[in-house]
A = this chain, B = another copy of it.
Amino acid sequence: MLQSQLPNFIRKESPRDEEAVSARLLIRGGFVDKLASGVYTYLPLGIRVLKNIESIVRKEMDALGAHELLMPVMHPKENWEKTGRWKTLDVLFKIAGRDKKEYALGPTHEEVISPLAQKAIFSYKDLPLGLYQIQTKFRDEPRAKSGLLRGREFLMKDLYSFHASTKDLDAYYEQAIKAYKKVFKKLGVDTVLVEASGGTFSKFSHEFQVFLESGEDQIVYCKKCGLAQNREINDTREGGPCPVCGAIVSIRQGAEVGNIFRLGTKYSEPFSLTYKDAKGNTHPVIMGCYGMGISRLMGTIVEALHDDRGIVWPAEVAPFDAHLIELPGTNGKAKKLYKELIEAGIDVLYDERSVSAGEKFAESDLIGIPVRLVVSSKTGKKIEFKKRNEETTKLVDETFIRKYFKK
């Protein structure tokens, strides 16, 4: 894309009302815009990142054999009363329609998917079943101050699994953990699997936490034996003894990017979600749920991968493959290179604008495309090649670039 054609939402000044460095960089770089506390617009550069994250997640969910659907934002009050959460979940946004009925704006979808699943689950032959969506959710957060890390309106992937036995749930749960690890690896974020409070069915749930100074969770972490527990279930202090191996634990700050639960029959029972076994006997379906914060991941990646000059996107989620910068006096060489790279299937942002070299380089570092290509009167027949996460530059030819991006 020609950079002159891209609407320029880049800002020189850092926003004053954002505490998180990820929010400041994403706003300055023109990826997101803040409309209200915890409520953001994804701008043209930002939606490219979001779609890349979505497509990585979708691929692994499909590989699990799960089926995508799209459930509504508006949930009837009755559904939430059936589980008791209309009153107990204090982050529920509620609306009333002109029909005098009340609705919750869904922060999660157990209350919708459980009665829905009954329409496709009759016998043990219909199990296991995995259904997921990538959908906008709402939580009336008291402290929405960390940019995309804690939104009031945010994008989630939520997968629900349905089983005839706890053994089958357990096997699926392990497969889901593997799928999550694959996703996070592709996204370039290091996660730690952390035990957290589990609710009714299992002792623990599991969170995928990214250790970050700016994370809002506290994790009791033992380097020696690998114990990792959310402080909500383990009140050992920094320097205290590990309850498993006795070594000294540390307390790490974590940003939670995924959370998975064995739900058991907690939601199938109130909605009479049952199946018939081979003998014709009826049993409640056993469920699991697997959340992943899509917009939160966008923030977390930036929180983890940035430097003083801006964002350092991993190649898999970057808005473009390469940033081609043209400096004066190149006699159409940059334009020719741009066309050839595009034809070779490389997604290039081509800065052909008449602005200073300093401004072009600063903006390029800020928006963090993984590879920068510079064509100037000084580079002769070659092109200056620099990775965003390295300091060294080298002069290369077009063949090198094509080979580098060969997928």
Contacts and interface: CB of A to CB of B under 8 A. Distances in A.
B7 A74 contact: no
A44 interface: yes
A68 B95 contact: no
- Identify which of A65, A70, A103 gathers the most chain B CB atoms within 10 Å of its CB: A70
Contacts of A112: 35, 41
A120 interface: yes
Contacts of A40: 72
A36 B119 contact: no
Given A41-B112, A95-B94, A129-B7, A36 B67 contact: no
B35 A65 contact: no
Nearest to A9: B120
Interface string A188-227: 0000000000000000000000000000000000000000
A46 B65 CA distance: 18
Given A41-B70, A65-B5, A136-B136, A36 B101 contact: yes
B73 A73 contact: yes
A41 B136 contact: no
Nearest to A5: B65
A5 B64 CA distance: 12
Interface residues of A, number: 52
A357 interface: no
Contacts of A171: none
A53 interface: no
A329 interface: no
A69 interface: yes
B9 A119 contact: yes
A47 B71 CA distance: 10
A24 interface: no
A116 interface: yes
A46 to B, nearest CB: 8
A94 B136 CA distance: 17
A232 to B, nearest CB: 22
- Identify which of A33, A126, A138 gathers the most chain B CB atoms within 10 Å of its CB: A33
A312 B4 CA distance: 44
B131 A7 contact: yes
A102 to B, nearest CB: 11
A126 B8 contact: yes
Interface in A12-67: 33, 35-37, 39-44, 46-47, 50, 65, 67
Contacts of A47: 68-70
- Identify which of A11, A42, A126, A129 gathers the most chain B CB atoms within 10 Å of its CB: A42
A386 interface: no
A279 interface: no
Given A7-B129, A42-B70, A120-B9, A37 B105 contact: no
Contact of A142 (B98, B140, B153): B98
Given A70-B50, A126-B7, A33 B97 contact: no
Interface in A83-108: 93-95, 97-99, 101, 103, 105
Contacts of A126: 7-8
B153 A35 contact: no
A114 to B, nearest CB: 12
A5 B129 CA distance: 9
Given A37-B99, A41-B112, 17 more contacts: A7-B129, A11-B119, A35-B76, A35-B112, A36-B103, A39-B72, A41-B70, A42-B69, A42-B70, A44-B67, A44-B69, A47-B68, A72-B153, A74-B138, A74-B152, A95-B95, A98-B142
Interface of A: 5-9, 11, 33, 35-37, 39-44, 46-47, 50, 65, 67-76, 93-95, 97-99, 101, 103, 105, 112, 116, 119-120, 126, 129, 131, 136, 138, 140, 142, 152-153
